[in-house]
């Protein structure tokens, strides 16, 4: 199904996606989950530091304008999945499991992973009696891609699915997936390293530079209007 904007001659839209970055022996191993349809709405919240919520006893007064870390930014979106077109085309995967493969790909973003190569190495080690040393389980970094101007490292903090319309096998044909994603700022990577961490830092910093540039351009266009509002 083609995405329509309702405007004649509108350009082809960019597809949003989530891209998981897994550090492996060959570098970064990406796992790409494209959105079938871009979300109709996107909620964004930014929570700055509030000095009034900090216990003041035993320390000096915190300035009311203090901001010791990057504000917490959260995205909330609803992603729609639909196997109708694939079923009409008699695609084997859709015929057997509906949208089950897409739901599984999204759910894998919530679990610790060593990537295909890392998990293969671990499996071989277990079979040969030479298991890999235990590692602290962690969820790989994911990049939220919302067009070329908004690419940010995130972690999914809430995931829920509403399934509807089912195949005779009870596999879902349609679903709405609600996602809450917290943006990972460079502050959270102070004790981390690796290729995926470097990519996460770079994408976040690039986004911040773009935002600052847009704000400067806006202020430049409206400088005369702002001056006219001043009483002096």
pLDDT tens readout for residues 54-90: 666 555 667 777 777 788 999 999 999 999 999 999 9
The label of the residue with tokens 């089912």 reads 166
Mean pLDDT lowest among 2-11, 33-42, 169-178: 2-11
pLDDT of residue 57: 59
**E runs forming strands in the chain:** 17-24, 27-34, 42-47, 72-82, 141-145, 151-166, 172-183
pLDDT of residue 116: 56
The answer to whether 146 and 16 have CB atoms below 8 angstroms apart is: yes
Give the burial class of 7: count Cβ atoms within 10 A of its Cβ; 0-12 exposed, 13-18 middle, 19 or more buried: exposed
Could you give the CA distance from residue 95 to residue 87 in angstroms, rounded to a whole number? Answer: 6
pLDDT over 50 at 2, yes or no: no
Helix (H, G, I), strand (E, B) or coil at 19: strand
**Comparison of pLDDT for 85 and 227, the residue scoring more:** 85
Neighbours of 221 (CB within 10 A): 9
Could you give the CA distance from residue 219 to residue 192 in angstroms, rounded to a whole number? Answer: 37
pLDDT of residue 58: 53
Could you give the CA distance from residue 7 to residue 10 in angstroms, rounded to a whole number? Answer: 5
* Banded model confidence at residue 193, pLDDT cuts 50, 70, 90: confident
pLDDT of residue 69: 76
Could you give the CA distance from residue 189 to residue 71 in angstroms, rounded to a whole number? Answer: 15
Average pLDDT of the chain is 83
Q: pTM here? A: 0.78
């Amino acid at each position: 199904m083609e995405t329509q904007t309702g405007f004649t001659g509108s350009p082809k839209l960019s597809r949003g996606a989530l891209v998981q970055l897994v550090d492996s022996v060959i570098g970064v191993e990406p796992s790409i989950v494209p959105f079938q349809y871009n979300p109709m709405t996107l909620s964004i919240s930014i929570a700055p530091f509030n000095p009034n919520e900090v216990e003041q006893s035993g320390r000096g007064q915190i300035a009311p304008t203090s901001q010791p870390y990057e504000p917490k930014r959260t995205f909330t979106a609803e992603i729609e999945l639909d196997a109708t077109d694939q079923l009409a085309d008699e695609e084997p995967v859709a015929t057997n499991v509906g949208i089950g493969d897409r739901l599984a790909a999204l759910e894998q973003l919530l679990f610790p992973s060593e990537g295909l190569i890392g998990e293969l190495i671990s499996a071989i080690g277990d079979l040969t009696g030479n298991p890999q040393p235990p590692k602290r389980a962690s969820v790989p970094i994911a990049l939220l891609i919302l067009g070329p101007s908004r690419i940010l490292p995130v972690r999914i903090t809430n995931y829920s699915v509403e399934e509807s319309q089912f195949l005779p096998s009870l596999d879902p044909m349609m679903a709405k997936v609600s996602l809450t994603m917290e943006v990972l700022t460079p502050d959270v990577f102070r004790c981390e390293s690796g290729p995926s961490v470097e990519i996460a830092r770079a994408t976040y910093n690039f986004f911040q530079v773009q935002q600052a540039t847009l704000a400067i351009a806006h202020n430049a266009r409206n400088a005369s209007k702002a001056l006219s509002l001043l009483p002096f």
